[in-house]
Amino acid sequence: MTLLTFCAVGSVNSALTAPLNVTIRELEVNTAIVTWEILEGDPVIGFAITQQKKDVRMLRYIQEVNTTTRSCALWDLEEDTEYIVHVQSISMGGSSPPSDPVSFRTPRESEKLASTVSDQVNREEMEQAVQLRVGELIIIVVVLVMWAGVILLFCRQYDIIKDNEPNNNKDKAKTSSECSTPEHPQGGLLRSNL
């Protein structure tokens, strides 16, 4: 009876559709995450994921039941190796046909390190650029405040000079009339006060 139950659970259920949009995300040297979608209304209670190295007959079978999760972590992968993944939906009546195969290649450790180093360099460059922009902004603000101070000081001094200017014009007018040209006999260079 146990064998019969196993066959019923392991059989393909024609009512279930294969998972859709199976994709690989967060691909690392030794790990990856496989994600998928299912049609609404399928009576799914779990999923089965098969992972196989390309050109090798051995495969890993991961079965998760009582879950609504639409992703699974793949672990213990080898670097620079091509894998093929299938996902099946599981219901009380059996499992769906396998999804379309998805193949992916894990990166080399050196490639991952190079991308990590370039990411760190890019982050450091961004932080330095932000720091430079902040420093430049501070310098610009200080210069503008100084110029505003100089302009205010000039305006204040100009008002003081302007207030004193009408008195100076009257004095200049008197002095200029006293020092008139020879054409005006009442004053000028030829006249003396002796």
Q: How far apart are the first and last CA of the chain?
A: 150
| Single pTM value for the model | 0.51
pLDDT tens string 130-169: 776 777 888 888 999 999 999 988 888 887 777 776 555 5
pLDDT band at 38 (very low <50, low <70, confident <90, very high): very high
**CA dist., res. 1 & res. 10, Å (int):** 14
User: Is there a domain that residue 44 lies in?
Assistant: yes
User: Is there a domain that residue 135 lies in?
Assistant: no
Catalogue the E-assigned strands of the chain. 20-25, 32-37, 46-53, 59-65, 71-74, 82-91, 94-95, 102-105
- Among 91-95, 99-103, 114-118, 176-180, whose mean pLDDT is lowest? 176-180
Residue with tokens 């001094």: 157
CATH number at residue 68: 2.60.40.10
Which residues, at least 6 apart from 46, have a Cβ–Cβ distance to it below 8 Å?
63, 64, 65, 66, 67, 89, 90
How deeply is 32 buried, as exposed, middle or buried, from its count of CB atoms within 10 A (0-12, 13-18, 19+)?
Answer: buried
> Coil, strand or helix: which one is 66?
coil
Count of the separate structural domains present in the chain: 1
User: Is there a domain that residue 180 lies in?
Assistant: no
User: Is there a domain that residue 7 lies in?
Assistant: no
Strand-pairing partners, residue 70, are none
Which has the higher per-residue pLDDT, 170 or 162?
162
Range of the domain at 30: 20-107
CA-wise closest residue to 70 among 40, 28, 103: 40
User: Is there a domain that residue 176 lies in?
Assistant: no
Do residues 186 and 180 lie in contact, with contact meaning Cβ atoms separated by under 8 Å?
A: yes
User: Is there a domain that residue 150 lies in?
Assistant: no
Neighbours of 29 (CB within 10 A): 18
User: Is there a domain that residue 70 lies in?
Assistant: yes
User: Is there a domain that residue 28 lies in?
Assistant: yes
